[in-house]
Structure 1
Amino acid sequence: MTTTAAPPRTSFAWRGLFLRLHFYAGVLVGPFVLIAALTGVLYALTPQLESWVYSDQLRVPVSTQQLPLSQQVDAALATAPQGTLVAVRPAPEPGDTTRVLFAEEGLGESERRAVFVDPGTGRVTGDLVVYGTSGALPLRMTLSQLHRNLMLGEPGRLYSELAASWLWVVALGGLVLWITRPRNSKRVRTHGLIGVWVLAGALLLSATGLTWSAYAGENVATLRQSLGWTTPSLKIPGGSGDHGDHSGHSPAGSGHGDVDTVLGTARAAGIDAKPLEIGLPTAPGGAWKVTEIGRGWPTQVDAVAIQDGDVVSSVKFADYPIAAKLTRWGIDAHMGVLFGWVNQLVLLLLGGGIAALVVLGYRMWWKRRPTQGFGRPAPRGQWRKVPPAALVGLGVGALVIGWFVPLLGISLVVFLAVDVLLGRRAKTA
């Protein structure tokens, strides 16, 4: 009797193609993903590191009484800081200091000078440059830039965008390989097992990372704008509503006497988060802006504009479009501030898992490299095994994704070109 071998299944044909893409993509982008994972783990630890390194500026003895906020601002102004008074962040908890914020010439984008004041005594405990809505101090600023661009400025952002662009491709390719692995195989590789466990987190990091990227980020912003998924902005009477622009503020020391009344009005209007920022008017008689800045709980991002003692405009998180809410939650989760230490722990495990995947992947490649007697993980020509209609669909999908995520598209073209050249070289050797 003779037996006829069963024709190869479509799933097997797809497996060869995915294996080749997963292997070579992992080899090429692995270093970028590894650096992003390790620097991300460092960044996730910064809240505790900041509390320890800057304890002299951040912590004071708990006082039973607090000075009016306007007097705390006066104490900061008495140190004769350079620049323009732009905002105040009242002490969120007993034992914390109040931050009085100034815009200065020479500071970078989203950077401000913070003077720290003991709310009980008015004693100034120091001043530091802080960054962004999170109020990141110099240590976190440094680790953030290391994670974002390797301290290389705008050109360095290409590294993190490349890592975010390929991370989801490699992760989903690994999932396909895990699902289609031979069922009679008793060997379960640690690499694949870790990949399954970190899959959801890797996809989240990739998606949220792309929203901050230089090129794909622009396409994401355009898409959100066209679909009405943008985050609502607070309407400021007589102003742009852009909290990051402080060029129109009055000189330091003027117009802050109403800060106590403004705080009381905001609290009465439902601004109940402990961490908040009070932005001064950008023109005499203009509106104040009071914004919740706590990110440990996903709903504390409300904001109100107050003019002449009345709330004239407000934005509530409850009114955000669902896409804007998901974006807010995703970004906060990426930064490790959503739900506090729980989010940090998840990021530590996730970053460690991704770093382990890269290391184990290179170990597998080294042990099974061709010079050790093994063939390539998937020979060239795997695309010929894929049904033509499916191959056309795959090509169209790659073109669309490559346009939307430019670094992915460009690097994929380069990869294919190099692969073709190596194939021709091998034939002529």
Structure 2
Amino acid sequence: MTANQLTATTPAPPASQSRTLRPLLLRLHFYAGVLIGPFLLIAAFTGLLYVFTPQLERVVHSQELFVTPAGAPQPLSQQITAAKAALPGATLVRVRPGATETDSTQIIFSRADLAPSHWLTAYVDPYTAQVRGTLETYGSSQATPIRTWLDELHRSLHLGDIGRLYSELAASWLWLVVLGGLILWWQRQRARRRRLLLVDRKLRGRRGLLSWHAVLGTWIALPLLFLSVTGLTWSEYGGESIAALRKALSWQTPTLSTSLSEHSAHGSHQQPTGTPGPDIGPDRVLATARQSGLDGPVEITLPAGAGKAYLVKQIKGSWPQKQDAMAVDPATAQPLETLRFQDFPLGAKLARWGIDGHMGVLFGLPNQLLLAAVCLTLITMILLGYRMWWHRRPTRDRFALGRPFPRGGWRAVHPVALAGLAVAAVLVMWQLPVFGVSLLGFLAVDLVLAWRARRRRALVVGGEELMRK
């Protein structure tokens, strides 16, 4: 390699590209694609595996989940008694009556040896009050073991908190990769707008790969942005920033108090609180909730102690969602307070819709099919991207990362725009720490490669001078 070739690795941006973001975006898109691509690939593949877990768990755990209707259902109190006998030493927490006549009743317990958000669930035949089986379940969705395993695979690769960094890294960069790619493709095709959404089948080689890569990315851009934002809400560090923002905007999900003293202060409870009192039981509580309009699948949370009320919540996640909740007096079965989903702040509704849409339950099978198509398309795009990199790979320097756009692209950006980008980058890095640390890592890698190129160039130039002497 000659000195002229080495010097050509870092030319100034051409005049035709002055005052444009394109050189900077090209270099950033390249690094993000090469270095973040593997994490996105894993997230897309594990997400694809998770998409159809509702159908999978119905097959794997059909014994526990489903029953054969036979007469009238037994009282919930009798079903709870059977579940307690099957799980001695566990503490009863909640009850989910079967949503349909073929669903078992889920009676949920806590136990000291379980991990956070993990429960022991007894599945009871509502017609015979016999326990059909017990499983360790997870989260508010009552995920069965098969769904829990795939969920943990997608979220953390079963590596705990350290593993969660992989999915947060993917979600933190996905939105930037998508937006950057859209801008680059729009600029490239601005003279041929009809080619923005159509693959040019006449192109071959790297240009043909680029056409497929960009067009596919354009078609799934909105779903990818949606998955990036909603994925960050579950992340360890970025999720804290999103939670703080929702709190500042008063967009938190409202909750009902189960304290009888608070309701008594509003005149809705006349019984003394703080000491054990009569308990009318879950059957009458369920009847009260049904009479008050809480239809569909519900979950009944039992009083956590003296002075506490029952809490009944709708748990229908598919559209149209039913997420109303009601506090019920354990002594009189009278409604104390009702919280309607229609009264939620907009931010809380968006969060609920976003979570259920990300999990594939908001619109049922169409939601699942869309997510599966997006995952497969993203996997294809990533593989096409690496194939393009292979076309441009260095043939003499096995340590180089392909041929990224030359350094110095930031000099082509207008100073005012550059200052704005710098401020925006700092704000994003502050709110998304994993993104910030990885971006600084990219810059460090780029600086090391630049130093290495300058050092080699100096050695080559020095060697040529010695040869001339």
**Separation in 2, partners of 1:240, 1:153:** 39
Shift of 1:255: 8.2
Shift of 1:132: 1.3
Report the TM-score when normalising by structure 1: 0.91
Q: How does 1:27-426 map to 2 (within 5 A)?
A: 27-182=34-189, 183=191, 187=203, 189-238=211-260, 258-272=281-295, 274-284=296-306, 286-307=308-329, 308-371=332-395, 376-426=403-453
- SS of the equivalent of 1:421 reads helix
CA contact (8 A) 1:116 1:124 kept: yes
Report the TM-score when normalising by structure 2: 0.83
Structure of larger gyration radius: 2
Q: How many correspondences in the alignment?
A: 412
Which AA in structure 2 matches 1:269?
Answer: S
CA contact (8 A) 2:280 2:333 kept: no
**Separation in 2, partners of 1:297, 1:347:** 16
- SS of the equivalent of 2:258 reads coil
**Separation in 2, partners of 1:320, 1:99:** 28
Instruction: Specify every segment of 5 or more residues in structure 2 that has no aligned partner in the other structure, as ranges.
Output: 1-13, 264-274, 457-469
Shift of 1:102: 1.0
Write the deviation string for residues 216-252 of structure 1: whole angstroms up to 9, x where unpaired: 11111111111111111112125999xxxxxxxx9xx
**Separation in 1, partners of 2:69, 2:49:** 31
CA contact (8 A) 1:72 1:122 kept: yes
Distance 1:257 1:314, change over 3 A: closer
CA contact (8 A) 1:289 1:304 kept: yes
**Separation in 1, partners of 2:347, 2:413:** 36
**Separation in 2, partners of 1:204, 1:240:** 39
- SS of the equivalent of 2:322 reads coil
Shift of 1:298: 4.5
Distance 1:66 1:256, change over 3 A: farther
Distance 1:235 1:257, change over 3 A: closer
Instruction: Specify every segment of 5 or more residues in structure 1 that has no aligned partner in the other structure, as ranges.
Output: 1-5, 242-249
**Separation in 2, partners of 1:83, 1:382:** 62
Q: Percent identity?
A: 49
**Separation in 1, partners of 2:388, 2:111:** 52
**Separation in 2, partners of 1:81, 1:271:** 31
RMSD: 2.4
- SS of the equivalent of 1:369 reads coil
Shift of 1:313: 1.8
**Separation in 2, partners of 1:268, 1:235:** 21
Which AA in structure 2 matches 1:397?
Answer: A
**Separation in 1, partners of 2:152, 2:396:** 41
Whether 1:25 and 2:32 are equivalent positions in the alignment is yes
Shift of 1:116: 0.7
- Structure 1 range deviating more: 124-133 or 282-291: 282-291
